[in-house]
Amino acid sequence: MTEKEEFVEELSGLLEDNATELKKQWVKEMTEMGLLEKLSSLEIEQQSTAIYDTCVLTIKTGMYEAAKKYAREMAKKGVLEAMTVDQIIMGMLKLRDVYGRFIFYKYQKDVEKLYKVLGVYEPVANRILSIVALAFVEEREMKITDQQQAMLTLSTPVLQIRDQILVLPLIGTIDSARAAQIVEQLLNSIVDTQASVVIIDITGVPIIDTAVANHLIKTIQAAKMLGADTIITGISPANAQTLVTLGVDLSMMTTRGSLRSGVKLADEMLKLVVMEKR
Protein backbone atom coordinates (compact mmCIF):
# COMPACT_ATOMS: atom_id res chain seq x y z
CA MET A 1 0.00 0.00 0.00
CA THR A 2 1.36 3.42 -0.96
CA GLU A 3 1.59 6.32 1.46
CA LYS A 4 -1.30 8.07 -0.29
CA GLU A 5 -3.47 4.97 -0.02
CA GLU A 6 -2.65 4.77 3.69
CA PHE A 7 -3.76 8.37 4.21
CA VAL A 8 -6.96 7.76 2.20
CA GLU A 9 -7.78 4.74 4.34
CA GLU A 10 -6.98 6.58 7.54
CA LEU A 11 -9.00 9.68 6.61
CA SER A 12 -12.06 7.77 5.39
CA GLY A 13 -11.93 5.66 8.55
CA LEU A 14 -11.86 8.77 10.72
CA LEU A 15 -14.79 10.31 8.87
CA GLU A 16 -16.79 7.09 9.20
CA ASP A 17 -15.99 6.70 12.90
CA ASN A 18 -16.94 10.30 13.64
CA ALA A 19 -19.93 10.47 11.29
CA THR A 20 -22.55 11.11 14.00
CA GLU A 21 -20.62 13.99 15.57
CA LEU A 22 -19.63 15.60 12.26
CA LYS A 23 -23.13 15.34 10.75
CA LYS A 24 -24.57 16.89 13.89
CA GLN A 25 -22.12 19.78 13.64
CA TRP A 26 -22.83 20.22 9.93
CA VAL A 27 -26.60 20.29 10.45
CA LYS A 28 -26.17 22.72 13.35
CA GLU A 29 -24.16 25.17 11.25
CA MET A 30 -26.55 24.94 8.30
CA THR A 31 -29.50 25.51 10.61
CA GLU A 32 -27.82 28.62 12.06
CA MET A 33 -27.42 29.91 8.50
CA GLY A 34 -31.13 29.35 7.84
CA LEU A 35 -30.48 26.76 5.11
CA LEU A 36 -32.75 24.07 6.54
CA GLU A 37 -35.70 26.02 7.88
CA LYS A 38 -38.14 24.61 5.28
CA LEU A 39 -37.07 20.98 5.73
CA SER A 40 -38.62 18.54 8.18
CA SER A 41 -36.50 16.70 10.74
CA LEU A 42 -36.85 13.49 8.74
CA GLU A 43 -35.77 15.19 5.51
CA ILE A 44 -32.77 16.73 7.26
CA GLU A 45 -31.70 13.34 8.63
CA GLN A 46 -32.19 11.50 5.35
CA GLN A 47 -30.46 14.03 3.13
CA SER A 48 -27.58 14.83 5.48
CA THR A 49 -26.85 11.11 5.85
CA ALA A 50 -27.03 10.50 2.09
CA ILE A 51 -24.74 13.41 1.26
CA TYR A 52 -22.28 12.62 4.06
CA ASP A 53 -22.06 8.93 3.13
CA THR A 54 -21.63 9.77 -0.55
CA CYS A 55 -18.74 12.11 0.21
CA VAL A 56 -17.00 9.57 2.46
CA LEU A 57 -17.44 6.83 -0.16
CA THR A 58 -15.90 9.07 -2.80
CA ILE A 59 -12.90 9.86 -0.59
CA LYS A 60 -12.52 6.18 0.27
CA THR A 61 -12.69 4.79 -3.26
CA GLY A 62 -11.44 7.70 -5.34
CA MET A 63 -14.40 7.02 -7.65
CA TYR A 64 -16.84 9.81 -8.43
CA GLU A 65 -19.75 7.83 -9.88
CA ALA A 66 -21.69 7.81 -6.61
CA ALA A 67 -21.26 11.58 -6.27
CA LYS A 68 -22.33 12.14 -9.89
CA LYS A 69 -25.36 9.90 -9.50
CA TYR A 70 -26.53 11.58 -6.31
CA ALA A 71 -25.92 15.06 -7.74
CA ARG A 72 -27.97 14.23 -10.86
CA GLU A 73 -30.80 12.84 -8.75
CA MET A 74 -30.72 15.85 -6.46
CA ALA A 75 -30.90 18.21 -9.43
CA LYS A 76 -33.43 16.23 -11.52
CA LYS A 77 -35.90 15.13 -8.89
CA GLY A 78 -35.58 18.17 -6.67
CA VAL A 79 -34.71 16.08 -3.62
CA LEU A 80 -34.31 19.25 -1.59
CA GLU A 81 -37.24 21.14 -3.07
CA ALA A 82 -37.36 23.46 -0.06
CA MET A 83 -33.81 24.65 -0.79
CA THR A 84 -32.59 26.85 -3.63
CA VAL A 85 -29.56 25.92 -5.71
CA ASP A 86 -27.54 28.56 -3.85
CA GLN A 87 -28.52 27.03 -0.52
CA ILE A 88 -27.55 23.53 -1.65
CA ILE A 89 -24.14 24.71 -2.86
CA MET A 90 -23.71 26.64 0.40
CA GLY A 91 -24.54 23.47 2.32
CA MET A 92 -21.86 21.53 0.43
CA LEU A 93 -19.34 24.28 1.14
CA LYS A 94 -20.27 24.12 4.79
CA LEU A 95 -19.69 20.34 4.83
CA ARG A 96 -16.28 20.91 3.28
CA ASP A 97 -15.52 23.36 6.09
CA VAL A 98 -16.63 20.88 8.76
CA TYR A 99 -14.40 18.20 7.27
CA GLY A 100 -11.50 20.64 6.93
CA ARG A 101 -11.68 21.81 10.55
CA PHE A 102 -11.93 18.21 11.76
CA ILE A 103 -8.81 17.24 9.80
CA PHE A 104 -6.93 20.23 11.16
CA TYR A 105 -7.98 19.35 14.72
CA LYS A 106 -6.82 15.75 14.34
CA TYR A 107 -3.45 16.49 12.75
CA GLN A 108 -2.54 19.92 14.07
CA LYS A 109 0.34 18.51 16.12
CA ASP A 110 1.91 16.92 13.05
CA VAL A 111 2.05 19.64 10.40
CA GLU A 112 3.79 17.45 7.82
CA LYS A 113 1.11 14.77 8.08
CA LEU A 114 -1.60 17.44 8.11
CA TYR A 115 -0.47 18.74 4.73
CA LYS A 116 -0.36 15.23 3.28
CA VAL A 117 -3.87 14.41 4.48
CA LEU A 118 -5.14 17.73 3.14
CA GLY A 119 -3.44 16.87 -0.13
CA VAL A 120 -5.63 13.78 -0.28
CA TYR A 121 -8.80 15.49 0.92
CA GLU A 122 -8.91 18.87 -0.84
CA PRO A 123 -8.86 17.68 -4.50
CA VAL A 124 -11.71 15.25 -3.77
CA ALA A 125 -13.76 17.88 -1.90
CA ASN A 126 -13.34 20.43 -4.68
CA ARG A 127 -14.25 17.87 -7.34
CA ILE A 128 -17.43 16.90 -5.49
CA LEU A 129 -18.42 20.57 -5.29
CA SER A 130 -17.88 21.02 -9.02
CA ILE A 131 -19.91 17.87 -9.74
CA VAL A 132 -22.87 19.14 -7.70
CA ALA A 133 -22.73 22.61 -9.28
CA LEU A 134 -22.45 21.18 -12.80
CA ALA A 135 -25.42 18.85 -12.23
CA PHE A 136 -27.66 21.82 -11.41
CA VAL A 137 -26.35 23.85 -14.36
CA GLU A 138 -27.00 20.96 -16.77
CA GLU A 139 -30.48 20.37 -15.35
CA ARG A 140 -31.33 24.06 -15.67
CA GLU A 141 -30.09 24.10 -19.28
CA MET A 142 -32.24 21.05 -20.06
CA LYS A 143 -35.30 22.76 -18.60
CA ILE A 144 -34.61 25.92 -20.60
CA THR A 145 -34.26 23.83 -23.78
CA ASP A 146 -37.53 22.02 -23.03
CA GLN A 147 -39.29 25.33 -22.40
CA GLN A 148 -37.95 26.77 -25.66
CA GLN A 149 -39.16 23.69 -27.52
CA ALA A 150 -42.59 24.02 -25.94
CA MET A 151 -42.75 27.69 -26.93
CA LEU A 152 -41.79 26.82 -30.51
CA THR A 153 -44.54 24.21 -30.63
CA LEU A 154 -47.10 26.69 -29.34
CA SER A 155 -45.93 29.35 -31.79
CA THR A 156 -46.47 27.08 -34.80
CA PRO A 157 -49.83 25.34 -34.34
CA VAL A 158 -50.96 22.97 -37.09
CA LEU A 159 -54.75 23.27 -37.39
CA GLN A 160 -57.05 20.75 -39.04
CA ILE A 161 -59.95 22.69 -40.58
CA ARG A 162 -61.36 19.91 -42.77
CA ASP A 163 -61.02 16.14 -42.83
CA GLN A 164 -58.06 16.33 -45.25
CA ILE A 165 -56.95 19.95 -44.91
CA LEU A 166 -54.34 21.37 -42.53
CA VAL A 167 -53.52 25.04 -41.95
CA LEU A 168 -50.16 26.21 -40.61
CA PRO A 169 -50.23 29.95 -39.77
CA LEU A 170 -46.70 31.29 -39.39
CA ILE A 171 -46.05 34.41 -37.34
CA GLY A 172 -42.78 36.17 -36.58
CA THR A 173 -39.18 35.59 -37.60
CA ILE A 174 -38.19 32.13 -38.81
CA ASP A 175 -34.66 31.01 -38.03
CA SER A 176 -33.04 27.64 -38.75
CA ALA A 177 -34.08 26.08 -35.43
CA ARG A 178 -37.69 27.15 -35.81
CA ALA A 179 -37.77 26.13 -39.47
CA ALA A 180 -36.61 22.61 -38.60
CA GLN A 181 -39.26 22.40 -35.88
CA ILE A 182 -41.95 23.62 -38.30
CA VAL A 183 -41.08 20.95 -40.85
CA GLU A 184 -41.03 18.18 -38.25
CA GLN A 185 -44.32 19.24 -36.68
CA LEU A 186 -46.08 19.66 -40.01
CA LEU A 187 -44.91 16.29 -41.38
CA ASN A 188 -46.01 14.52 -38.20
CA SER A 189 -49.43 16.17 -38.48
CA ILE A 190 -49.75 15.09 -42.13
CA VAL A 191 -49.04 11.49 -41.14
CA ASP A 192 -51.36 11.62 -38.12
CA THR A 193 -54.32 13.14 -40.00
CA GLN A 194 -53.68 11.67 -43.46
CA ALA A 195 -54.07 15.18 -44.87
CA SER A 196 -54.08 15.73 -48.63
CA VAL A 197 -53.69 19.53 -48.68
CA VAL A 198 -51.61 21.81 -46.47
CA ILE A 199 -52.08 25.58 -46.38
CA ILE A 200 -49.10 27.54 -45.08
CA ASP A 201 -50.12 31.11 -44.31
CA ILE A 202 -47.18 33.52 -44.06
CA THR A 203 -49.15 36.74 -43.59
CA GLY A 204 -47.45 37.18 -40.20
CA VAL A 205 -43.89 36.62 -41.46
CA PRO A 206 -42.32 40.08 -41.77
CA ILE A 207 -39.22 39.17 -43.75
CA ILE A 208 -38.52 36.38 -46.22
CA ASP A 209 -34.86 35.84 -47.08
CA THR A 210 -33.08 33.08 -48.99
CA ALA A 211 -32.98 30.78 -45.94
CA VAL A 212 -36.71 31.13 -45.25
CA ALA A 213 -37.54 30.61 -48.93
CA ASN A 214 -35.41 27.47 -49.06
CA HIS A 215 -37.12 26.14 -45.93
CA LEU A 216 -40.52 26.72 -47.55
CA ILE A 217 -39.43 24.80 -50.65
CA LYS A 218 -38.08 21.92 -48.56
CA THR A 219 -41.31 21.83 -46.60
CA ILE A 220 -43.35 21.66 -49.81
CA GLN A 221 -41.13 18.86 -51.14
CA ALA A 222 -41.33 16.87 -47.91
CA ALA A 223 -45.12 17.27 -47.72
CA LYS A 224 -45.40 16.11 -51.34
CA MET A 225 -43.48 12.94 -50.50
CA LEU A 226 -46.13 12.20 -47.88
CA GLY A 227 -48.92 12.71 -50.39
CA ALA A 228 -49.95 16.26 -49.48
CA ASP A 229 -50.09 19.28 -51.81
CA THR A 230 -49.13 22.67 -50.37
CA ILE A 231 -50.70 26.08 -50.86
CA ILE A 232 -48.79 29.21 -49.73
CA THR A 233 -51.00 32.15 -48.76
CA GLY A 234 -50.46 35.67 -47.51
CA ILE A 235 -47.31 36.62 -49.43
CA SER A 236 -47.01 40.38 -49.10
CA PRO A 237 -45.99 42.53 -52.10
CA ALA A 238 -42.64 43.23 -50.47
CA ASN A 239 -41.94 39.55 -49.81
CA ALA A 240 -43.08 38.64 -53.33
CA GLN A 241 -40.60 41.13 -54.73
CA THR A 242 -37.89 39.74 -52.46
CA LEU A 243 -38.52 36.18 -53.66
CA VAL A 244 -38.27 37.28 -57.29
CA THR A 245 -35.08 39.23 -56.58
CA LEU A 246 -33.54 36.23 -54.82
CA GLY A 247 -34.23 34.09 -57.85
CA VAL A 248 -36.19 31.51 -55.87
CA ASP A 249 -37.82 28.80 -58.01
CA LEU A 250 -41.52 29.52 -57.53
CA SER A 251 -42.71 26.99 -60.09
CA MET A 252 -43.53 24.40 -57.44
CA MET A 253 -45.40 26.86 -55.24
CA THR A 254 -49.17 27.15 -55.46
CA THR A 255 -50.01 30.55 -54.02
CA ARG A 256 -53.03 32.59 -53.09
CA GLY A 257 -53.29 36.11 -51.75
CA SER A 258 -55.24 35.31 -48.61
CA LEU A 259 -55.94 32.42 -46.29
CA ARG A 260 -59.60 32.47 -47.27
CA SER A 261 -58.81 32.05 -50.95
CA GLY A 262 -56.32 29.34 -50.06
CA VAL A 263 -59.00 27.38 -48.18
CA LYS A 264 -61.36 27.82 -51.14
CA LEU A 265 -58.71 26.41 -53.49
CA ALA A 266 -58.08 23.47 -51.14
CA ASP A 267 -61.80 22.67 -51.17
CA GLU A 268 -61.78 22.76 -54.98
CA MET A 269 -58.72 20.50 -55.15
CA LEU A 270 -60.52 17.94 -52.99
CA LYS A 271 -63.83 18.50 -54.78
CA LEU A 272 -65.46 19.48 -51.51
CA VAL A 273 -68.71 21.42 -51.50
CA VAL A 274 -68.99 23.71 -48.48
CA MET A 275 -72.49 24.96 -47.67
CA GLU A 276 -72.51 28.35 -45.93
CA LYS A 277 -75.07 28.93 -43.19
CA ARG A 278 -77.54 31.73 -43.85
Higher pLDDT: 207 or 225? It is 225
Residue 113 · residue 173 · CB < 8 Å: no
Mean pLDDT, residues 66-90 taken together: 74
120-140 pLDDT, tens digit per residue, is: 899 989 998 888 888 877 877
Whole-model pTM: value is 0.53
Q: If we measure between CA atoms, which residue out of 38, 34, 78, 58 comes closest to residue 129?
A: 58
Task: Give mean pLDDT, residues 243-254.
Answer: 77
Torsion angle, alpha carbons of 144, 149, 152, 157, to 10: -140
Percent of the chain exceeding pLDDT 70 equals 91
- Dihedrals phi, psi of 37, to nearest 5 degrees: -65, -20
- Least Cα distance to 257 among 240, 241, 273 occurs for 240
Mean pLDDT of the chain: 84
- The pLDDT value given to residue 36: 81
Q: Which helix (H) or strand (E) holds 202?
A: strand 197-204
The pLDDT of residue 148: 61
Reply yes or no on domain 159-269 having CATH 3.40.50.1370: no
| Sign of the Cα pseudo-torsion (243, 245, 246, 249, in order) | positive
pLDDT of residue 150: 59
pLDDT, one tens digit per residue, over 147-194 is 666 555 555 688 898 889 999 988 877 777 777 888 888 899 999 999
216 confidence band (pLDDT: 50, 70, 90): confident
Same fold, 3-149 and 159-269: no
- What pLDDT was estimated at residue 78? 57
In the prediction, which pLDDT does 200 show?
92
Q: Does the pLDDT of residue 141 top 70, yes or no?
A: yes
> How much is the average pLDDT of 7-25?
92
**What is the arrangement of strands in the sheet containing 254-256, beginning at the earlier edge strand?**
159-162, 165-171, 197-204, 229-233, 254-256
Q: pLDDT class for 278, splitting at 50, 70, 90? A: low
Domain ranges of the chain: 3-149, 159-269
Task: Give the mean pLDDT of 7-15.
Answer: 90
Instruction: Pick the more confident residue, 110 or 37.
Output: 110
Q: What is the pLDDT of residues 187-206, one digit of tens each?
A: 999 999 999 999 999 888 88
Is residue 13 very low, low, confident or very high in pLDDT (cuts 50, 70, 90)?
very high
Q: pLDDT higher for 208 or 249?
A: 208
Mean pLDDT for 267-278 is: 72
Region for residue 62 given its phi and psi (left: phi exceeds 0; alpha: psi -120 to 50; beta: otherwise)? left
pLDDT at 223: 92
3-149: in CATH 1.10.490.20: yes
